[in-house]
Structure 1
């Protein structure tokens, strides 16, 4: 929200530590202070410098760590982050091969459970509370949002404490879309016209490593020299692109989002990042979802580090940190508001323990227990109790006990927050979901109830999760343009599922843990994944714990 609008009470404060600004000069202050007033950074100065006007009586809080811009995630199917990591049984070539009705395990692990959770009036808010807190606890200050449908036919985005790229209500943070109308997805000219509207579109592109995955990109070519690509296209995954395809993206000003762990788990390969960098494509990071990805950006930084090492890509830790901060902000056209630590920008901050190692390597290697503080819009939202309490005076703080990092609390108070989760604690959300997932067979076997999106229900408006690709909704996550081959034209990309599909027989599931360090099963499954490069899973599990 814009500074000064309704929200938690803020005050002037200052944080002292090593300051990694991610500004255009990559300035690092070994001992500096970030001064914050009214949710905005007023100054970033060496510790020995005089305090700026208005802060003469403010004593800097000593963090004992390193201060970074908050992490900006450009791809996540957030509601699905309650589900456990899938032990992928085989290598797939593209997205169509593992999702939907072709794969019965997908219904058991993904679509069936999410229908049960997403349509239940008590469980759905618990999903929202849990997954947003999970993103926060993993250092994320901005991510993709949660879409909701109502029984009255309305659609809206959930607005919580973590910034949502799709619903900002702030002219300094232009909103990005992640869905397009199905008629635009299937017609090249309409798709191009959509791309010419003045906002970014974060859309899946070339999901996989085989020919069909690349055809999904090639279908964007309207005719020689003319492509349905503009600077507003942000391609998610791009794993099927060849070197010349990245040059096309760059020539048209498009950018991309890299989700290496998810790509490796499903396809045994990921985007040609070396070729993308040579072409000059701007890149961000996304953890995708918990079914085949990291628990958050803190983990995805490590997955990206290992992927670059395996592929012998010249990618420094500073490059990786920039992808999750400064470069992500540039992709969104948010660089004048977030993404670095400069006067006038919003106070979105991540503080980790220690100041000894290289500052960029330190963040890439940081574990769950190293996060000392997360601040969003000038409000302390998660971290060590003493640090959060020093900045969130008077707010009700909730102890977080399921992270493996002692002494942490979360501040979920937001007077202007969405009433959907008002009063719901993280502990209550965790308990509801743990019980529900363990009891999935019984919940799925309940007698059919009135369709949640039709008819008038007692109590007024009722909301449910608008889950991606469980059924056609008139919106698509990717272009589905026709590609001519052998005299026929066929749409690229996975086929939408049936309009109605039974939940079917389900099995009990375990709620995915908030952090990798406190979730031993996550590392165990990683180490068994058959599509990962040799030792990758074991090495990643070691880095995460």
Structure 2
């Protein structure tokens, strides 16, 4: 108890001495990994969580917000391809055996590959990523993997695979093509507590080509701690047992799996073998717009099974504490614990079921329900009236999500930036020359 009080006092002193922003006290239903706290308080001090609980002493200079909602950790997305999220949904007319199949289709090359390459060659990569990061944040995501490198990473979302302060994280779409020099670099990083995320066994459950990838990676000594497999639809039960024994994680992307391959990972085998599993949306063309929608999709998929595989609390953990574990950041991100980085999501409670079970609210909410997103303790996005209490109105831009007005702040971004409307218009104009339209920030249930 004295240690906690000491830490809290140090955080407060740092705030006053360094002249940082005023503390923020969020009051509402707080979701922890093992329990919820009704009418609890989350105190944010100097970019970190200063205290959390039912009876918290709030500093006199704190900004107090009665959220009337659910307060949870910001969502962590470990599998995305951000620059592709400018494209509308692609609805293939067939199911594929593996990723190698659809990547060779003329319709994929026409609708996605060629226009994507055209915009990249036109120098619009950073604009594409900026749009995708905003899209992710409107879905409650605060940390992402699958971004470009600097200078495109300018301090909006946390770009985990390009932030050395958070460790060494590698993201490889085609691991079987690694040359020996790259493989040595990977092993060096893994031996230094780094992480590697690789696409493995992406295809239908019975596709021999996709299934064979597991054996090939095992032969390359990549079945080792620090590695996580993305997709894994073609993995067999014995493969999950081997993954668990080697402390290898899994990234599950159910919507994209079902749309492309007609089935998804053997999640039951993964959970029974205690493989640490995270959920992620993959990309907008065949996955979800963002993590909040992917949670909703997964909950709906689970409800359609004869026997449910998980409850809402376990599912939420796949978007918070589990991904934090897979990047070795479970002592800094993924939970609302004292001393953790203040990446926070606040959701509205809109019906009786969400009020009775706040974890249900977290896994069944829509983008319209996002009240507030904080990254590093700074308000980045949310309902306009809340944002105006936390951010100078001159730093706010308005957005419309499914008919609801929201506000976003780009104050955390490094260097001069165009307005978001300018970014949208630039991308719209460029896409028209390739016969494409800019995807909306949210499909709004369509």
Deviation at 1:16, TM superposition (A): 0.7
1:53-72 per-residue CA deviation (whole Å, 9 max, x = no partner) reads xx134352111211000000
Which residue of 2 is the match for residue 94 of structure 1?
98
Q: 1:215 and 1:12 mapped to 2: Cα distance? A: 53
Check whether the contact 2:195–2:226 (CA below 8 A) recurs between aligned residues.
Answer: yes
Give yes or no for the alignment of 1:110 onto 2:112. yes
Q: Deviations over 1:308-336 (max 9, x none)?
A: 33444421111110000011111111111
2:441 aligns to what?
514
Distance between the aligned counterparts of 2:317 and 2:257, measured in 1? 21
Partner of 1:304: 298
Residue among 45, 55, 58 paired with 2:53: 45
Q: CA contact under 8 A between 1:368 and 1:405: conserved in structure 2?
A: no
Cα 1:9–1:233 shift into 2, 3 Å: same
Residue number among 20, 23, 34 corresponding to 1:12 in the alignment: 23
State the Cα distance separating 1:351 from its structure 2 match.
0.4
Q: Deviations over 1:80-116 (max 9, x none)?
A: 00011111121111111111xx211121111111112
CA deviations on 1:463-503 (whole Å, 9 max, x unpaired) are: xxxxxxxxxxxxxxxxxxxxxxxxxxxxxxxxxxxxxxxxx
CA distance in 2, matches of 1:181, 1:190: 16
How many residues are paired up? 422
User: Of the candidates 333, 338, 347, which is equivalent to residue 343 of structure 1?
Assistant: 338
Q: What is the alpha-carbon distance in structure 1 between the residues aligned to residue 268 and residue 57 of structure 2? A: 44
> Which residue is equivalent to 2:137?
136
Query: Unaligned 5+ residue runs, structure 2?
Result: 1-10
- Residue 459 of structure 1 is matched in structure 2 by none
**CA distance 1:290–1:189, change in 2 (3 Å):** closer
- Contact kept in structure 2, 1:83 and 1:511, CA below 8 Å: yes
* CA positional deviation for 1:277: 0.6
Which structure's relative contact order is higher, taking Cα pairs within 8 Å and 6+ residues apart? 1
- Structure 2 CA distance for partners of 1:107 and 1:18, relative to 1, 3 Å: same
For structure 1, the 5+ residue unaligned runs are 149-154, 441-507, 524-545
Distance 2:133 2:183 in 1: 37
- Tell me by how many angstroms 1:198 deviates: 3.0
Shift of residue 296, structure 1, vs aligned partner:
0.2
1:333 matched to 2:328? The reply is yes
CA distance in 1, matches of 2:48, 2:214: 40
TM-score in terms of structure 2 length: 0.88
State the distance in 2 between where 1:428 and 1:359 align: 38
Residue aligning to 1:475: none
What's 1:379 paired with?
A: 378
Correspondence 1:68 to 2:79: no
Partner of 2:161 in structure 1? 166
Residue number among 209, 212, 217 corresponding to 1:212 in the alignment: 209
> Which whole-Å deviations, capped at 9, do the CAs of 1:381-402 have from their partners, x for residues lacking one?
011112112122465100113x
User: Contact 2:431 / 2:438 at 8 angstroms: preserved in 1?
Assistant: yes
User: Do the aligned residues in 2 keep the contact of 1:81 with 1:290 (CA within 8 Å)?
Assistant: yes
* Residues 229-261 of structure 1: CA deviation (Å, up to 9, x unaligned): 111111100111000000000100110100000
Contact 1:395/1:411 (8 A) holds in 2: no
Give the aligned partner of residue 460 of structure 1.
none
Largest Rg, 1 or 2? 1
Q: Secondary structure at the match of 1:424?
A: coil
**Given the superposition, is the C-alpha separation of residues 395 and 28 from structure 1 closer, same or farther in structure 2, using an over 3 Å criterion?**
farther
Structure with a larger share of its residues in helix: 2
> Does 2:237 correspond to 1:248?
no
Look up the match of 1:120: 122
Residues 126 and 152 of structure 2 are in contact (CA less than 8 Å); yes or no, is this contact kept in structure 1?
no
Whether 2:419 is the aligned partner of 1:425: answer yes
